[in-house]
Amino acid sequence: MKNISDRPLLEVETDPFADAASQSLPETVRPIADAYDERIADRDRSLWRWFYRATAEFGLSCVDADCVRRTRSAKTLATMFITVVDDVAERYGDRETLAELLKVPFEHQDADPTRAGVAGEYVRFQRELWAQLRTLYDDGPRAEEFAELFRFDLRQAFQSVDYSALVAQHPGLASERELWTYDAHNMMVLCFADIDLAYSSSFDAAELAAVREVVTRAQRMARVGNWIATWERELAEGDYSSGVVVRALESGVISIDELRALEARPTDDAVEPIVTAIRESDIEAYFVDRWRCEYDEAAQFVGAAESVDLRAYLEGFETIFRAQLANRPSN
């Protein structure tokens, strides 16, 4: 395991995912991405390419060798799925459509695209996306064994979106403690591990607890990187749920009155003083230190499993963190 002095710093000179734009999406993802572009189009395809590139870094080593590409495809679809849900909740504040989207993966609930006030095209698209994702998941030789765990972790991700939507409505609601409780699940890293396990014939289920100790911390590490990389853009969009912004509020770097003024008048002139105050504070550096702490805690469990290389898995998140830091607007 690397020494802490070798770990990422806030300033990153090179992007390890600089080649992401040249990545081709796999054939199992491309038709869904095409449908997204035609019918939803809230995000650029470069996001899916970036994430597909990232999946090469954090797969569990126990995945059957001939199935790695399928797990990467399934994770990319899962990311697209949660991104659509998140955008409906936070970007549009559409609670009616969100309520239907949260039903899509669960057989005992019927997502209704014709319900009054619902953006039906989002619901129809998500049902198609989920069907393709579920087909990929169900093809795994151990899919049934881990299906309940997959559904459980998916529900936690949905709760995270619901929490973020509440914060968008009530900026004073958020606390750093609650963000760690709810918001980290939005990264879907536990769900991605469930997908890997569905395709891992040789995995020893007795080691599941050790795996989840590492994956849970890796999920928080991914959340930290995402907060640092996206808080400036999200602030300009009226999204105040980033851990960076919440800590700035709790530590007095910015005030709730400033956020309310920004909400009432979302202009560049209103955003810039808030961004400057946060940049000039030590808040981003604090979260880099928090990432290091999560890494060190996770490292204590890497020797607890023999059927999967948890050391390699954990180190993959260092590469992802470097890529996230490289994409900071102020980097």
Q: What is the pLDDT of residues 187-204, one digit of tens each?
A: 999 999 999 999 999 999
3-state secondary structure of 26: coil
Instruction: Tell me, yes or no, whether 289 lies in a domain.
Output: yes
Instruction: Tell me, yes or no, whether 138 lies in a domain.
Output: yes
pLDDT tens, residue by residue, 146-169: 999 999 999 999 999 999 888 888
Instruction: Tell me, yes or no, whether 169 lies in a domain.
Output: yes
Domain extent, residue 86, equals 4-326
Q: How distant, in Å, are the alpha carbons of 21, 59, 321, 326 from that of 8?
A: 23, 21, 7, 11
Instruction: Tell me, yes or no, whether 109 lies in a domain.
Output: yes
Low-confidence ranges of the chain (pLDDT < 70): 1-9, 12-13, 330-331
Instruction: Tell me, yes or no, whether 263 lies in a domain.
Output: yes
Q: Is 165:90 a contact under the CB 8 Å cutoff?
A: yes
In this structure, what CATH number is given to the domain that contains residue 285? 1.10.600.10
Per-residue b or e along 94-126, where b marks 16 or more CB atoms closer than 10 Å to that residue's CB: beebbbbbbbbbeeeeebebeeeebbeebbebb
Instruction: Tell me, yes or no, whether 237 lies in a domain.
Output: yes
Q: How distant, in Å, are the alpha carbons of 99, 170, 286, 287 from that of 290?
A: 33, 26, 6, 5
Instruction: Tell me, yes or no, whether 331 lies in a domain.
Output: no
Predicted structure pTM score: 0.94
Rounded to whole angstroms, the Cα distance separating 122 from 97 reads 8
Q: How many domains does the chain have?
A: 1
Q: Is 307:206 a contact under the CB 8 Å cutoff?
A: no
Instruction: Tell me, yes or no, whether 167 lies in a domain.
Output: yes
Residue 29 CA to its chain's centroid (Å): 18
Burial class (CB within 10 angstroms; exposed 0-12, middle 13-18, buried 19+) of 201: exposed
